[in-house]
Amino acid sequence: MKFIFTADTHFGCRFLNENAGARNSRLIEHFADIADYAHNCGIEYILLGGDLFDTPYPDENVKAAVYRVFESHRDISFFAVSGNHDPLGLTQFYNNPPQNLFVFPDTITRADLNGLTVYGVSLSDSFDAPDPWSGFHSDGKFVILSHGTLSGKGGFCLDPRSLSQTGASMCLLGHIHKTQSVILPNGAAALYAGTPFGHGFDECGQKGFYVIDSDDFSYTYVNTKAEIYTEYTADISSCTSVTEVMDTLARVRPMQNEIARAVLTGNLKEPFDIDCSCLLEYFKNSFIQIKDETKIDTDIFENAGDNTLEGKFVDILLNRLRNSPQSEHQKILDAIKEGVLAIRSSK
């Protein structure tokens, strides 16, 4: 018997640089495509590894659309555990789930599929939790399903040895968004489903879902048709003007199903002001973001503290830099660079 395993769909995600409502609708359509795939292949079961939602409190529209995907695929039975983003105790959706969605409680519980036993356990809150499988053992052929991190923190903190000792033929895991398989000490596979579609540039590349055969636990990976986040790097070391940068960017042609960003790199010998928002306006059909990561050979701090516009500008931002968290530093350094170059080029 074959079943599908996927996880970390994160519906209701706040998309940066994009229309969140439209993107969430698209992702929900891609989720429906997975159910359609199951239907067309005669697959009756889909297992979900947690973080179906990005938040326990998704928009009503998002909730309703996700609900409809289950409702419109009555021939498929879904089995889910909740994750740290949609913990059982907080996520209303799970109090009243669609009829064909079984949500595992926050204690290890058994579900019997046609010829396959699944033991699953949900996270009850968003905090890291100890390994629920420690001390659990069962005989016979079964898989275990939970949301967490092997040998690390995040969701359930899972110990590869305790997973081995459960006797499971396969461990199905959510939480890590990159699809991967890990061999446990007893030789069984632990699969992170990964996310079936990217949510941003930290999730670049083709995504998909697992189709697993419960007879021998062999598995294949099936690509989804979801939009693919792609980062294009453009080395503009040899450019001496914005016009030349534009020529370089015009040669980059993202494919239709790509959501692309361009990152400008290289060392500028003759620094000039690059206004990324202007460039983006011009290339809005190709990219949703343009980032300037070029380095310049001149010292942008050399006039700090001088009694000039540049000196005072740098002083104010350096002061802000000192009083802000690490996460803000790059943004402020970029602002200093852009500002200094703009001031110098206006002279």
Stretch that binds Mn ion, among 82-90, 196-204, 297-305, 317-325 (CB under 5 A): 82-90
Among candidate residues 244, 294, 284, the one with its CA nearest the CA of residue 261: 284
70 secondary structure, DSSP code: H
Print the binding letters for residues 231-270 with Mn ion: x by CB under 5 A, - otherwise. Answer: ----------------------------------------
Nearer to Mn ion, 49 or 271 (CB): 49
Annotate 274-319 with DSSP letters as a single string: --HHHHHHHTTTT-SEEEE--EESS-TTTTTTSSSHHHHHHHHHHH
199 lines the binding site for Mn ion (CB under 5 A): no
Of 49 and 254, CB closest to Mn ion: 49
Least distance from Mn ion to the Cβ atom of residue 12, Å: 14
Q: Which is nearer to Mn ion, 84 or 294 (CB)?
A: 84
Q: Does 54 bind Mn ion (CB under 5 A)?
A: no
Q: Cα separation of 335 and 183, whole Å?
A: 47
Give the nearest distance from C-beta 176 to Mn ion in angstroms: 8
Binding piece for Mn ion, criterion CB under 5 A, among 80-88, 183-191, 258-266, 339-347 = 80-88
Nearer to Mn ion, 73 or 175 (CB): 175
CB of residue 177 to Mn ion, shortest distance in Å: 8
Query: Do β-strands 219-223 and 208-213 pair in parallel, antiparallel, or remain unpaired?
Result: antiparallel
Residues 6+ away with beta carbon under 8 Å from 100: 70, 73, 74, 76, 77, 78
2-6 and 208-213 as β-strands: parallel, antiparallel, unpaired?
antiparallel
Q: How far is the CB of 83 from Mn ion (least distance, A)?
A: 4
The one segment of 10-18, 84-92, 190-198, 232-240 that binds Mn ion by CB under 5 A: 84-92
Name the residue nearer to Mn ion (CB basis): 84 or 166: 84
Sheet of strand 228-235, all strands in order from the earlier edge strand to the far edge:
228-235, 258-265, 289-292
Near Mn ion in 164-183, by CB under 5 A: 175
State in angstroms the smallest separation of the CB of 127 from Mn ion. 12
133 DSSP assignment: T
Nearer to Mn ion, 146 or 294 (CB): 146
The CA distance from 35 to 70, in Å, is 8
Contact call for residues 35 and 46 (beta carbons, < 8 A): yes
Binding residues with Mn ion: total (CB under 5 A): 4
Residue of 84, 179, 195, 286 interacting with Mn ion (CB under 5 A): 84
Which has the closest alpha carbon to 286: 312, 319, 310, 251? 251
Shortest Å, Cβ 85 to Mn ion:
5
Which range binds Mn ion by CB under 5 A, 45-53, 273-281, 296-304, 333-341? 45-53
Q: Does residue 81 contact residue 146 with C-beta atoms inside 8 Å?
A: yes
Q: Residue 123: which of 168, 163, 170, 155 has the closest Cα?
A: 155
Q: Which of 12, 49, 83, 148 binds Mn ion (CB under 5 A)?
A: 83
What's the 3-state SS for 181-218?
EEECCCCCEEEECCCCCCCCCCCECCCEEEEEECCCCC
148 vs 339, which CB is nearer to Mn ion? 148
Which tokens hold the place of 166? 């459960």
Q: Is residue 51 within the footprint of Mn ion (CB under 5 A)? A: yes
Q: At its nearest, how many Å lie between Mn ion and the CB of residue 34?
A: 19
Supply the minimum distance, in Å, between the C-beta of residue 149 and Mn ion.
9
Question: What residues line the site for Mn ion (CB under 5 A)?
Answer: 51, 83-84, 175
